[in-house]
């Protein structure tokens, strides 16, 4: 039990910290889901990529530097500690890329990953449908075999970043079997037959969108894994979406630090002290769990429940410290609204508790979940 960084890790941490200190824009970029904001965030991704910091744990030939997983955690902490911009590439970088590296062909990796790392291709996810939310295996959007590939038809929804993205990835029904009839495909959001309709969220931003597909052609080389094997492919890397890959500890460590400073500056109310302490302790636990997870696996479902609840607790406590002035504090309020989505997306926390109880603890499967 030793948290000392080896010289190489400390050197990397210092390099990232130094680069971020010199390069993070002094003024926040425009909103990521607006056209101007998307362009600015793509440019930011390109600069990260030029510095070799876009995806440090990827193989070098795809735009990474083959760094050990610890370095990705350290980078995440430095990134959030420096209040750097939201990663417009996050769906691709943290969700699609691990799937491709595990199940994709080397041709797919070589074609898809480098432009993803440079911010040249921005990816949206296309999982949910109007009738397939928590019950993801109820997907109805179809992939029909045609010459040289597949024809996609149907409707996807809650597709994060779809309003500004170039391409999307998701599951489509290629036969009637509930789980084994699904195929994992990548498709072009600018292709003929695709219509994207942004959805305004609770927080006012068009962070997600509906995608309508009408006979959209996808070539065979954009199928990940075998046709019909999409559920297994998706689930084998679903942990990335739920767990530490999607939400590193940096966001919560930085937020907890801000909360403690806020309470020390404002905090005459001793009644809130224990809540501030508990919120900080939770963020610290998540950070230490990230380090522990390098040597001891933590169930992704437990991770997802914990980070989402920690995020809400941190922000709710800050709002309470601010009291009625919170409504005039744009940062904490926006952070709170963002945090509120966390217990819903990437599989609701109720779905995660079911997975944890049944697959983690070995309780019997209920007919309704799993």
Partner 1 sequence: MRLAPSAEEADFAASLHGALHAAGAFSGPDSGAVYRPRAGELSGAVSGPDSGVLSAWGRLGALGVTGLAVPERFGGAGAPASALVVAAEELGHHAVPGPVAESLAAVPALLAGCGDERIAATWLPGLASGRLVATLTAPPWLPLAAHAETAGVLVWAGPDVVRVSGGRISPGSVVAEDSASASVVAEGPASAPVVAEGPALAPVVERALNLGALVCAAQLLGLGRAMLEASVEYARARQQFGGPIGRFQAVQHRLADVAVALEFARPLLYAGAAALDHPRDVLDAAELNPASDAAGLNPARDVSAAKVACAEAAHRAARAALQVHGAVGYTWEHGLRRWLAMTRVLTLSWGTASQHRARVMTELAKGCDERGT
Residues with a known catalytic role? 241
Reduced to 3 states, what is the DSSP secondary structure of residue 341? Answer: helix
Strands 223-224 and 182-188: antiparallel
Name the one range near partner 1 by CB under 8 A: 50-58, 125-133, 162-170, 350-358: 350-358
Residue 340 burial (C-beta neighbours within 10 Å; 0-12, 13-18, 19+): middle
Between 205 and 275, CB nearer to partner 1: 275
Query: Binding to partner 1 by residue 88, rule CB under 8 A?
Result: no
What is the DSSP code (8-state) at residue 202?
T
Q: How far is the CB of 264 from partner 1 (least distance, A)?
A: 6
Query: Binding to partner 1 by residue 271, rule CB under 8 A?
Result: no
Query: Binding to partner 1 by residue 260, rule CB under 8 A?
Result: yes
Phi, psi of 68 (to 5 degrees): -65, 160
Query: Binding to partner 1 by residue 11, rule CB under 8 A?
Result: no
CA distance 362 to 367: 15
Query: Binding to partner 1 by residue 108, rule CB under 8 A?
Result: no
Query: Binding to partner 1 by residue 254, rule CB under 8 A?
Result: yes
Q: How far is the CB of 95 from partner 1 (least distance, A)?
A: 22
Size of the site for partner 1 (CB under 8 A): 65
Report helix angle 250-266 to 300-322, nearest 10. 20
Contact criterion met (CB below 8 Å) for 226 and 204:
no
> Given CA atoms 256, 261, 262, 264 in this order, what sign does their dihedral have?
positive
Query: Binding to partner 1 by residue 190, rule CB under 8 A?
Result: no
Query: Binding to partner 1 by residue 291, rule CB under 8 A?
Result: yes
Task: Quickly tell me which residue has 């290629």 as its tokens.
Answer: 174
Query: Binding to partner 1 by residue 26, rule CB under 8 A?
Result: no
Contact criterion met (CB below 8 Å) for 322 and 262:
yes
Q: How far apart are the first and last CA of the chain?
A: 36
Query: Binding to partner 1 by residue 350, rule CB under 8 A?
Result: yes
Q: How far is the CB of 113 from partner 1 (least distance, A)?
A: 27
Between 206 and 334, CB nearer to partner 1: 334
Contact criterion met (CB below 8 Å) for 287 and 249:
yes
Query: Binding to partner 1 by residue 305, rule CB under 8 A?
Result: yes
Residues that bind partner 1 in the complex, under the rule CB under 8 A = 1-6, 9, 17, 21, 70, 77-78, 81-83, 253-254, 256-258, 260-261, 263-264, 273-274, 276-278, 280-282, 284-289, 291-292, 294-296, 298-299, 301-302, 305-306, 350, 352-354, 356-358, 360-366, 368-369
């Amino acid at each position: 039990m030793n948290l000392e960084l080896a010289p190489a890790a400390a050197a990397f941490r210092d390099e990232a910290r130094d680069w971020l200190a010199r390069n993070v824009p002094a003024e926040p970029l425009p909103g990521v889901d607006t056209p101007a904001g998307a362009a600015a965030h793509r440019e930011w991704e390109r600069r990260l990529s030029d510095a070799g910091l876009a995806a440090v744990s990827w193989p070098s030939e795809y735009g990474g530097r083959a760094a050990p997983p610890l370095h990705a955690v350290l980078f995440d902490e430095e990134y959030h500690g420096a209040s750097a911009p939201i990663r417009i590439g996050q769906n691709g970088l943290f969700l699609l890329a691990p799937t491709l590296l595990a199940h994709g062909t080397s041709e797919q990796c070589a074609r898809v990953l480098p432009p993803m790392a440079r911010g040249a291709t921005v990816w949206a996810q296309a999982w949910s449908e109007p009738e397939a939310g928590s019950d993801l295996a109820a997907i109805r959007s179809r992939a029909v075999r045609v010459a040289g590939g597949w024809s996609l038809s149907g409707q996807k929804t809650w597709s994060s970043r779809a309003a500004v993205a170039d391409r999307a990835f998701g599951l489509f029904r290629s036969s009637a079997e509930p789980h084994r009839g699904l195929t994992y495909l990548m498709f072009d959001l600018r292709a003929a037959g695709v219509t994207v309709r942004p959805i305004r969220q609770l927080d006012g931003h068009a962070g997600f969108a509906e995608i309508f597909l009408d006979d959209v052609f996808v070539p065979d080389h954009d199928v990940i894994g075998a046709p019909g094997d999409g559920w297994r492919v998706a689930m084998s890397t679903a942990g990335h979406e739920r767990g530490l890959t999607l939400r590193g500890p940096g966001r919560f460590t930085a937020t907890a630090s801000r909360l403690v400073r806020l309470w020390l500056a404002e905090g005459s109310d001793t009644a809130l002290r224990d809540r501030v302490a508990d919120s900080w302790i939770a963020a610290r636990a998540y950070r230490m769990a990230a380090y522990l997870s390098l040597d001891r696996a933590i169930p992704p479902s437990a991770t997802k429940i914990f980070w989402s609840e920690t995020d809400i607790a941190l922000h709710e406590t800050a709002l309470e410290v601010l009291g009625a002035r919170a409504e005039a504090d744009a940062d904490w309020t926006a952070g709170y609204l963002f945090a509120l989505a966390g217990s819903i997306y990437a599989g609701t926390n109720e779905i995660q508790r079911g997975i944890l109880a049944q697959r983690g603890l070995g309780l019997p499967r209920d007919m309704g979940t799993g």
